[in-house]
Amino acid sequence: MRTLTIEEAEKLHGTRLDRRRLYATTDDGKPCDLTGAHVFEVARWSQACSGCHSGAYLLDGRGHGCSECGYTGRRKHAHWVPVSKPANTN
């Protein structure tokens, strides 16, 4: 993925985008084979660490802590997802 400025992302997408987000396109600039999207935004979340979470859900959803997660019991994840076109409101 190649990151885009907000101006480049809006030009490719054809509509105004949220300026607080980070946008990208494929390395070759062609649409995605699976979705046909040109512009992607990053989705970020955290979840219990797979290295130390026992599977039994604790009240706060954390693992017990290990070197993989820095002894916090949580792992941060990020993934590029396609930006969808807004629905027509006619």
The pLDDT assigned to 47 comes to 87
Return the amino acid letter for 3.
T
The alpha carbon dihedral of 66, 44, 77, 49 has a sign of positive
Is the Cβ–Cβ distance between 73 and 46 less than 8 Å? no
Q: Which of 34, 35, 56, 40 is nearest to 2 (CA)?
A: 40
User: Residue 3 corresponds to which tokens in the numbers above?
Assistant: 């990151």
Per-residue model confidence (pLDDT) at position 65: 86
Nearest to 49 by CA among 63, 30, 59: 63
Summarize pLDDT for 5-39 with one digit per residue, the tens. 999 999 999 999 999 999 999 999 888 888 889 99
pLDDT for res 8: 95
pLDDT in tens, 33-89: 888 899 999 999 998 888 887 766 555 677 888 998 999 988 999 999 999 876 664
Give the model confidence (pLDDT) of 12-21 as tens digits.
Answer: 999 999 999 9
**Whether the model pTM is above 0.85:** no
